[in-house]
Structure 1
Amino acid sequence: MGLPTWLTPSHGIILALLLGFAIAHSGLAALRPWGEAKIGPRLYRVLFALVSIPLATILIVYFFNHRYDGLMLWQVQGVPGVKATVWVLSVISFLFLYPATFNLLEIAAIAKPQVHLYETGILRVCRHPQMVGQVIWCIAHTLWLGTTFTLVTSLGLVAHHLFAVWHGDYRLKKRYGDAFVKVKDRTSIIPLLAVLDGRQTLKWEEFLRPAYVGVLGFVALLWWGHPWLMQVTSRVPW
């Protein structure tokens, strides 16, 4: 008995691409102390980007081109309110994915990259905002597209970010020891849990940062350029 016809090879390929990205991304993060000692923080940041960005680009293009592969589990694109809901969830996801605590100069290796122990802004809401943002993004896009390919992709992305939660905590504890344990005790993985049980207090002034304006601008640009982006990626023969 063969595989069902809807189970296209793209399902396995996207999982393989996700696994490759996860190994490279998390592996380089784990090797950061050793690598920085060998070649310096700035050069290691450049190396990290040279590996991660092409792999991420391949993933994104492949996802765009195969998003409707497989079995259509549901079709709600014509249901009133769904499109608006997907965009609202997408905006929220990016606010978590790219918190204002990120230092853009360090990301670009203009300033010396460092490992920070933050407990401000979005991290008061959740200690691992990227994981939360990715989960929200996956929910929104799986709802909109409704295909088995998108569902498989989303499950792979969420699995990677759940691993990154453990891996991130492990690396921070290894670097900061008791200082991280205290931060961990005052924060939560589940959004707002530490606030609700009194371990953390939101400080709204910490959210009034230019980085959040940049994120909203990026989302607006993405909304405007989304059709064009679909056309461009469709020309890639993957």
Structure 2
Amino acid sequence: MAEMSWFTTSHWVIFGLLLGFAIAHSGLAALRPWAENKIGSRLYRVIFALVSIPFATCLIIYFFNHRYDGAVLWQLQGEAWVKPTVWWLSAISFFFLYPSTFNLLEIAAVQKPQVHLYEKGITRVTRHPQMVGQVIWCVGHLLWIGSSFMLLTCTGLVAHHLFAVWHGDRRLESRYGKTFLAVKERTSVIPFVAILQGRQTFKLGEFLKPAYIGVSGFIALLWWGHPWLMVMTAKVPW
């Protein structure tokens, strides 16, 4: 058997990309109150997007093209249960990663971007749905791709999102004070804990909205276009 390389050059590149994205994304988020006061919320959102989106795009393409690099830690793709498990976990993860609490018009700066204090829909399940969604996505994809590159990538992604839990709560407390602390008391980071403890209620009706239909459509589109996406990103010489 050929010797397996744990740390190829691509491992260090993805580490640098993840670290750079985390600094840029969280750093700009921390600067939001100051920046919006200086240049306005719309211009700030445009700058945030111009930094974050190209950075994330480069990171995603590089990840796609090197996901099997390094040592093979496990190989489960031949197991019948793995593929449907990965797809179900991926689908569930997107309902956390892209909750209906996101206002697309604000993201595009068509409406004035604002900092919201949400306590409905998916945020009743967990106060930090993006972190939970990222963990679920990583669990599924680590099952499918058991490479050291994949393990490093998922470790970095989860670490960034765990930092974002602390960072996001800190920023909301700074902005909303006792109002946020009351919401924090009624919600939980770990999914369903606040509901099981009686501090929160689950309202199914809040999920019956067009935004969740949109997420479902996106999941179906991603399932259909996944092979094409792999082919297209492979054409980028990174």
- In the TM superposition, 1:144-159 aligns within 5 A as 144-159=144-159
Whether 1:96 aligns to 2:96 is yes
Report what 2:142 is aligned to.
Answer: 142
Report what 2:186 is aligned to.
Answer: 186
Separation (CA, whole Å) in 2 of partners of 1:104 and 1:139 = 28
Report what 2:195 is aligned to.
Answer: 195
Separation (CA, whole Å) in 2 of partners of 1:8 and 1:94 = 30
Higher deviation after alignment, 154-163 or 36-45? 36-45
Output one character per residue of 1:123-155: Cα deviation in whole Å (capped at 9) or x when no partner. 000000000000000111111011010000000
Separation (CA, whole Å) in 1 of partners of 2:107 and 2:147 = 34
Output one character per residue of 1:57-85: Cα deviation in whole Å (capped at 9) or x when no partner. 01100000000000111111111121011
Report what 1:168 is aligned to.
Answer: 168
Output one character per residue of 1:197-223: Cα deviation in whole Å (capped at 9) or x when no partner. 110000110111111111111111111
Amino acid at match of 1:223: W
Separation (CA, whole Å) in 2 of partners of 1:6 and 1:164 = 28
Return the offset for 1:226.
0.7
Whether 1:117 aligns to 2:117 is yes
Report what 2:78 is aligned to.
Answer: 78
Report what 2:211 is aligned to.
Answer: 211
Amino acid at match of 2:213: V
After TM superposition, the score normalised by the length of structure 1 is 0.97
Separation (CA, whole Å) in 2 of partners of 1:5 and 1:107 = 41
Amino acid at match of 1:203: K
Output one character per residue of 1:149-194: Cα deviation in whole Å (capped at 9) or x when no partner. 0000000000000000000000000000000000000000000000
SS in 2 for 1:73: strand
Report what 2:15 is aligned to.
Answer: 15
Separation (CA, whole Å) in 1 of partners of 2:220 and 2:59 = 22
The percent of aligned pairs where both chains have the same amino acid is 72
SS in 1 for 2:74: coil
Report what 2:63 is aligned to.
Answer: 63
Over the residues paired in the alignment, what is the CA RMSD in angstroms? 1.1
Whether 1:232 aligns to 2:236 is no
Whether 1:41 aligns to 2:41 is yes
Output one character per residue of 1:20-63: Cα deviation in whole Å (capped at 9) or x when no partner. 00000000000001111111111111110000000000110000
Aligned pairs, how many? 236
Write out the 4+ residue segments of structure 1 that deviate beyond 4 Å after TM superposition: none
SS in 1 for 2:73: coil
After TM superposition, the score normalised by the length of structure 2 is 0.97
Return the offset for 1:6.
3.5
Output one character per residue of 1:91-144: Cα deviation in whole Å (capped at 9) or x when no partner. 000000000111111011000000000100000000000000000001111110
